Structure 1
Amino acid sequence: MRAAGVAELPDPRTYRGRLAYEPKWDGWRVISWVSGQRVVLQSRQLRDLTRYFPDLVGHLQAHVGAGAVIDGEMVSWDAVSGRSSFPALQRRVTAGRGLAAEVTARPAYLVAFDLLADVGGEELLRLPLAERRVRLLRLLTGAPPQLLVCPQTLDVDEARGWMRDWVVAGVEGIVVKDLTSRYTPGQAGWLKLKSRTTTEAIIAGVTGTVATPGSLLLGRLDARGRLRYVARTHPLGAAQRGEVAGMLQPALGAHPWPAPLPGAWTGQLANRRPLPYVPVHPSVVAEVEVDLAYEHGRWRHHSRFVRIRAELEPAELPLWSPNGLAA
């Protein structure tokens, strides 16, 4: 079951059902299938992740009875910052022989938020969410701390407080669910509101052409004056393309970035292909809207172009930072 994006949290008084609010964790969505002595962890893209998370497999085998199917989010917390760490999950997949060391250094947790089948294989999809949650709480009573039930509130003001106060823990927004609703796989039956902010970055490249840019490739200067890649925008609308194109000039001579951009710079785990682009002279500053998923000096998700900041020079922006949110 998926969640459709919204611009603000719906007020329960204006909704026909009973609304519940849950924190949106920055991790990997996973369905956990428990069958006898076998556990399968399946990603949203139907990828089998089981062998990369033997710690979670062991906890599920030990505590959850055969036949149960749990929907939730796998997360791992950084011991220094206290935030959830998306790269820690990615390292599991690429660790190879170092997987055991990764498991010890950065344990994984399952934040469960729905129960699709109970012990014994009883399918629960047609039951209302409120009843499915009661069964989930009962199932995970006494479970180890690596198997958590996602917090939930019926108070919209408390949910707004989570968005404000739980950012430091890596919560990236709120998911809104109707407690009377069934579970409909593949359908956008929930709502989600992401925590976002605006910032500025230097336009250093475009997809498409300079005259008709498709999306913008953005950078920040580091303390040594090097231009570091930080983000890519969503595709530009027609009016945005017109605003941007008149400000850009093709790069003359050497450009600080390789062409195409390495897939590791811009791609997700499932998409590591190099990105062809047109380098432009890095002199124009753009204001963009970003979410909170900033890791290793880059925003993991695409940003949204807001406007050109013609009054700003690249050197006026905060310096590139490898850790934490860039200002």
Structure 2
Amino acid sequence: MDLPVMPPVKPMLAKSVSTIPPGMQYEAKWDGFRAIVHRDGDEVVIGSRTGKPLTRYFPELVTAVRDNLPPRCVIDGEIVVPYEGRLDFDRLGERIHPADSRVRLLAERTPAGLIAFDILAVNDDSLLTTPQSDRREVLEAALADASAPVHLAPATTDQALARQWFERYEGAGLDGVVAKPLDLPYRPDARVMYKIKHERTADCVVAGYRVHKSGPVVGSLLLGLYDTGGVLQHVGVCAAFPMKRRAELAEELEPLRTGFAEHPWAAWADAAAHESARLPGTQNRWSGKKDQSWVPLRPERVCEVAYDHMEGDRFRHTTQFRRWRPDRAPSGCTYGQLEEVVRYDLAEVLSGG
């Protein structure tokens, strides 16, 4: 491979803001695996956000890249798995599997797509110093004849339309909106774009915590919600506490410590139990050798957390602690309090609505 921009490349990143800024290029924020795709003839390298190779996990995309991208180019985009008209992150995650036979089976059953939203090089030209608006023109020309499963990400400079996308597209499994300054060069691994994500709040039962890697203080709180059968399901965690607050939380929660035998998630170490209930995870392909053990607490305290959206029956990302809710009974912390997002057809999103 001999390209003007060679792998590995870390993608340009975005920082969170609360509102959509004016005077920029706007795109939907896709919920998938960020990827930098290098193609030089038949050679294709797909790199992750951290620069690690993803090529072997998406053989169908290697073929699609050869069929749809210019012979020599570097593309920034998102790998997604569409399923029943929306993006499905759980099915996407299943693709990171050590067995090649399993990967190829899933490539047939739930094929991935590539949504391209930036271009770093084409032919012998590096575009890293080229302004965003000009790169967009090059990208549109490069993908003018592309077809599924390779898609050109819709983009606009109309702030009002971007607001509509933000309000409507979540139902297709999207995260929010990304705003890019029109004169912005491509800056790998720098947070120079802006992302606007949905934020909602929910009252959750605190049923345990993981110990922080630095010592005997709280690393993250384990959150639960009751389902319609009255079973407390593990729905995610909240973290990102200052170190002083971590120590304070350990003291506050000490009176609630209990044994696993008395806890609703007593079966967490049994892999088979995870098939019928949401339990704190054991070792898996994402955690590697990371310690997944946790401290059980009597499920008596309720906290309010901020979250962006759900993936199935759990929080898609780490939530943010807002406050304790001593006025709420744990039994009232159910899935029923969560806002139901109106479904939206992914095909309309890809066409720009």
Same fold at TM > 0.5? yes
The one-letter code of the counterpart of 2:129 is R
- Name the CA distance, whole Å, in 2 between partners of 1:47 and 1:217: 30
Q: State whether structure 2 residue 54 is matched by structure 1 residue 43.
A: no
Choose 307-316 or 25-34, whichever is displaced more: 307-316
Residue by residue over 1:272-297, the C-alpha shift from the partner in whole angstroms, topping out at 9 and shown as x without a partner, is 423233221101111100111423x3
Contact 1:294/1:300 (8 A) holds in 2: yes
**C-alpha RMSD of the superposition:** 2.8
Q: 1:16 is matched with which residue? A: none
Matched, 1:97 2:117: no
Taking the aligned partners of 2:117 and 2:43, their CA distance within structure 1 comes to 21
- TM alignment of 1:300-315, pairs within 5 A: 300-315=316-331
Please tell me whether the aligned partners of residues 15 and 193 of structure 2 are also in contact (alpha carbons under 8 angstroms): yes
Q: Which is further off, 267-276 or 149-158?
A: 267-276
- Is 2:92 aligned against 1:111? no
Q: Look up the match of 1:20.
A: 25
Asked whether the 8 Å contact 1:213–1:245 carries over to 2, the reply is no
C-alpha contact 1:248 1:281 (8 A) present in aligned 2: no
1:318 is aligned, of 315, 334, 338, to 334
Question: Which residue of 38, 42, 55 corresponds with 1:33?
Answer: 38
Paired residues of 1:73 and 1:111 also in contact (CA < 8 A): yes
Q: Which residue is 1:87 aligned to? A: 90
CA contact (8 A) 1:259 1:276 kept: no
Provide runs of 4+ in structure 1 moved above 6 Å.
Answer: 259-264
Higher relative contact order (CA 8 A, sep 6+): 2
| Contact in 1 for aligned 2:89/2:311 (Cα 8 Å) | no
The equivalences for 1:188-267 within 5 A come to: 188-208=191-211, 213-237=218-242, 238=244, 246=252, 249-253=255-259, 254=261, 255-257=263-265, 265=281
1:4 is matched with which residue? 15
* Alpha-carbon separation, structure 2, partners of 1:10 and 1:176: 7
Distance 1:180 1:193 in 2: 20
Q: Which runs of 5+ in 1 are unaligned?
A: 13-18
Matching residue of 1:15 = none
Q: 1:64 to 1:247 in 2, by over 3 A?
A: closer
Give the aligned partner of residue 168 of structure 1.
171
Contact 2:76 2:118 in 1 (8 A): yes
- CA deviations over 1:163-186 (Å, ceiling 9, x no partner): 110011111111110111110111
| Counterpart residue identity of residue 250, structure 1 | L
In 2: Cα distance, 1:33 partner to 1:163 partner = 30
1:286 corresponds to which of 303, 328, 345: 303
Match of 2:60 among 36, 55, 69: 55
Q: Deviations over 1:88-107 (max 9, x none)?
A: 22222226423333222212
Q: Is the 8 A contact 1:22 1:151 kept in 2?
A: yes
What SS does the aligned partner of 1:265 have? coil
**Letter of the structure 2 residue corresponding to residue 256 of structure 1:** P
Opposite residue 6 of structure 1, the aligned amino acid is V
Q: CA deviation at 1:5?
A: 1.4
- Alpha-carbon distance between aligned partners in 1 of 2:241 and 2:229, rounded to the nearest angstrom: 31
Q: Kindly state the Cα deviation for residue 266 of structure 1 after the two structures are TM-superposed.
A: 8.0
Quote the Cα distance in structure 2 between the aligned partners of 1:3 and 1:268.
Answer: 28
Q: Secondary structure at the match of 1:92?
A: coil
1:194-241 deviations in whole A, cap 9, x for unaligned? 1121111100112349x9544311112234433221111123245697
C-alpha change, 1:182 and 1:91, in structure 2 (3 Å) is same
Instruction: Say if 1:288 and 1:307, in contact at 8 Å, map to a contact too.
Output: yes
Is the Cα–Cα contact under 8 Å of residues 95 and 103 in structure 2 kept in the other structure?
Answer: yes
Alpha-carbon separation, structure 2, partners of 1:25 and 1:293: 14
Q: Tell me the residue number matched to 2:136.
A: 133
| Residue identity in the other structure for 2:333 | L
Q: Which letter does structure 1 place at the counterpart of 2:152?
A: V
Distance 1:56 1:117 in 2: 19
Q: Deviations over 1:22-67 (max 9, x none)?
A: 1100000001100111111111121211122122111211232332
Q: Residues 86, 291 of structure 1: CA spacing in aligned structure 2 closer, same or farther, 3 A cutoff?
A: same
Q: Secondary structure of the residue that 2:96 maps to in structure 1?
A: helix
Give TM-score, length-normalised by structure 1: 0.86
Q: Distance in 2 between matches of 1:105 and 1:300?
A: 23
Q: 1:67 aligns with which of 72, 97, 106?
A: 72
